[in-house]
Structure formats: structure tokens, C-alpha cells
Amino acid sequence: MNNTEQRHQDMKSNWLFTCTCRRCEDEGELGTFMSSGTIGSKITTISDGCLENGTDSIYHIKSSLPNDFSDVDSLETWLQKFDTDKYLHPNHSIFSQVKLFLSLYYGRQLGGIKALTNERLLRKYQFCCEIMEIFKIIYPGVYQCKGELLFELWTTVRELNTRGIQYSLQQDHTETVLVSRAYEILRHSIVLSPFHHMKEILEDEYPELRTFKGNSSHSPSSS
């Protein structure tokens, strides 16, 4: 979930080359705008150097980010305060990284997803949806991180349906579709990895997945 400048710094330091792929060459990062800020109605690129040395407002956003990500209350307060900031695009990597963390962290504490308040459960769904739209662009193939997020989306949608909570369901976010898409990725996971455990959970819920062949004819039945 790093933006272009962060990736370039990593590649120069660790791999000794500069990437010139479509995403790196595109100021809007293929429509994800993870490096972008806003000036009025115009979207523009903002580097990490600007975040460190630029305007007081932009610097304040980064410096105010809580150091302890396990302090969920502080992260939520930070997002609520700055996510609609007029200087940075809502998809900027600073915000997206926090939303990705929360989308995975919600429901992994003691008590699991059933211990989440309705408000946080809905927020988990919202963040999962927002990050998935970015993942579709930056991870178009089979990536474990995308399988993990699809798994989290499935658990969230299932819990929302169990509680009877009204929410805006996207067409491709039904339980059946999410299970099939998540399993198609997670079935390739390494034994004993967290991803493999997610695969086993899906198989326990939908035994027919064990004959999954990667097409719609083996999609799990709706429960």
C-alpha cells in the first residue's frame, strides 16, 4: 500500500533500480490517487518530502498519526479528523494504510467479530470495500493479501446479515461470491500460514469447496 515515492525509495535502497511501470509513470497511480493531494477541485501529486517539509497543515496530518496502531480509538479519531482533509486525496497512502490495518484488525481482538459494535462492524465493511477497490488496480492477479481481504469481507457481510443490519451491499459482495473469490486465492496458500487457516475455515463452512476447480460450477451454496 505504499505510494510511488515510497516504492521508489525501497527499490533504490534494496534492489538498486528505478521502476518505470505504468503505475510508477502515472501521477494518479492508475486512478488510485495514493500519492495525490487536492488543490481546490484539482488533484495533484504530493511527495513524502512535501509531507515532511511542506505546509503546516499537511505536516500535521502525518505527525499526528498515532504511533501505537493497537490503540484503535486513537486511529479512529485521527481518521475522522483528517480523512476529509482538503489537502490530501481520500485514497492517499497515509489514509489507505490505516484503513487497511483497521479492516483487518477489527474483529481479531478477544471475542472476535461478534464482539464488534454495530458501528465498528459497518466501518469494517466500509474500509474493506474502499481498500478492495484499490487492490483491484494494484493487485490485479492472485495475491494472498487480496484473498485475506476478501475473507474479511465475507466474515463481515455474514455477520451483518446475521445481525440484520441494513447496509449498502455491493453487487459482487454477496456471501457466495466473496467465498468463491477468497477461496480461489487462499487455496494456493502455504500450510501453517495464516492464509491457510482462513482456507480451512472456508472449507469447514462450505465442504464443497474441497472440490473447487476455480470456476462458477464449484461455487459454494448459499447457507
pLDDT per residue over 187-220, tens digit each? 999 999 999 999 999 999 999 999 876 654 445 6
> What would the pLDDT profile of 90-123 be if each residue is shown by its tens digit?
888 889 999 999 999 999 987 899 999 999 999 9
Tallying the residues shown for the chain, one arrives at 223
Q: Which of 78-87, 171-180, 182-191 has the highest mean pLDDT?
A: 182-191
Amino acid at position 56, single letter: D
pTM of the entire predicted model: 0.82
Average of pLDDT values for 142-149?
95
pLDDT score for 46: 55
Burial of 174 (0-12, 13-18, 19+ CB in 10 A): middle
Residue 55 has pLDDT above 80, yes or no: no
Average of pLDDT values for 35-57?
53
> What would the pLDDT profile of 13-23 be if each residue is shown by its tens digit?
888 888 888 88
Strands (E), 8-143: 36-39, 42-45
**Residue 61 near residue 87, CB atoms below 8 Å:** yes
Higher pLDDT, 116 or 172: 116
* Residue 202 to residue 220: CA distance in whole angstroms: 10
**Residue 43 near residue 28, CB atoms below 8 Å:** yes
pLDDT score for 170: 81
Residue 56 has pLDDT above 80, yes or no: no
pLDDT score for 47: 55
Q: CA distances (Å), 64 to each of 2, 56, 79, 97, in order?
A: 19, 12, 10, 15
